Amino acid sequence: MFLMASKEDIRRRIWSRMEREGIARFPRPVYGRIPNFAGAEEAARRLAELDIFRKATRVKVNPDAPQLPIRRLALRAGKEVLMPAPRLRSGFLILDPREIPQPRLEEAATIKGAFHYGKEAGLDNLPRPYLIVVGSVAVTPDGARIGKGEGYSELEFAILCELGLVDERTPIVTTVHDVQVVEEIDLDPYDVPVDWIVTPTQVIETRTSRPRPPGILWQYISEKLLKEIPLLRLLKERKAQ
């Protein structure tokens, strides 16, 4: 009987291959991370050529290293960037290129720079993103995706969905190395599929039929997460009221 590899098995296989074949870049080792990969800049340029990027005036981009080139390209193109703070401890940051000195745009796209030049956004002033960019450890051509296993990308999407800021029409894209595209991933109800996969060599429109979660699936939210993420705790308190 064929057994599908577990998410963790897939992650470890990808991380090991990227280290072994010299695909992994700083920060290393990539184990336990959204892996930074050789060709991340080329993947970002390919994404920037797509209509979903060109038309989006505000882009939500994860704070991980392989998506740094996307944050820089977005700011240089005059787009607002909505960046989740690492582990969502400080919620979201809004980077408005109109309010950042032009010579500082490159710096503002980094995590440290985002905290300096960005503005914190809470539940009452979170803006609507018109494109979501997520980092991944592995993806499939039909849109299944897994991250490093902590669930923050899923939570970020769920929070925005709960607030009515994203829906089924909001395009979701990931940039990865070609070796991160795998055949099969078994998803959980809270996992968020992607519409586009962009690598250094190709663009894949997944035309996924996999459903997106309708919001926060509270049965999967632990007390530990509620304590660690003020935004999540506040949202639950408001719903209870």
Residue-wise pLDDT for 133-185, tens only, equals 999 999 999 999 999 999 899 999 999 999 999 999 999 999 999 999 999 99
Give the predicted TM-score (pTM) of the model. Answer: 0.95
Tens-place pLDDT, residues 9-63: 999 999 999 999 999 999 999 999 999 999 999 999 999 999 999 999 999 999 9
Q: Which phi-psi region, left, alpha or beta, contains residue 117 (left: φ > 0; alpha: ψ -120 to 50)?
A: alpha
Classify residue 1: in a domain, yes or no: no
Q: Would you place residue 3 in the very low, low, confident or very high pLDDT band (cuts 50, 70, 90)?
A: low
Rounded-to-integer distance, Cα 123 and Cα 162, Å: 10
| Range(s) of the domain holding residue 189 | 7-240
Classify residue 104: in a domain, yes or no: yes
Cα angle at 163 between 133 and 174, to 5 degrees? 10
| Residues listed for the chain | 241
Q: For the chain, how many structural domains are there in total?
A: 1
Rounded-to-integer distance, Cα 82 and Cα 96, Å: 9
**DSSP calls for 52-68:** HHHS-SEEEE--SGGGH
Other CB atoms closer than 10 Å to residue 111's CB: what's the count?
A: 17
Is pLDDT above 80 for 76?
A: yes
Rounded-to-integer distance, Cα 50 and Cα 46, Å: 7
Classify residue 50: in a domain, yes or no: yes
Q: Would you place residue 1 in the very low, low, confident or very high pLDDT band (cuts 50, 70, 90)?
A: very low
Classify residue 179: in a domain, yes or no: yes
Specify the CATH number for the domain of residue 107: 3.40.50.10420
Rounded-to-integer distance, Cα 31 and Cα 135, Å: 14
**Residue the block writes with tokens 């700011």:** 75
Confidence at residue 24, expressed as pLDDT on a 0 to 100 scale: 97
Other CB atoms closer than 10 Å to residue 29's CB: what's the count?
A: 12
Classify residue 185: in a domain, yes or no: yes
Classify residue 200: in a domain, yes or no: yes
Mode of pairing for the β-strands spanning 196-198 and 172-175: parallel
- 175, 43 contact by CB (below 8 A): yes
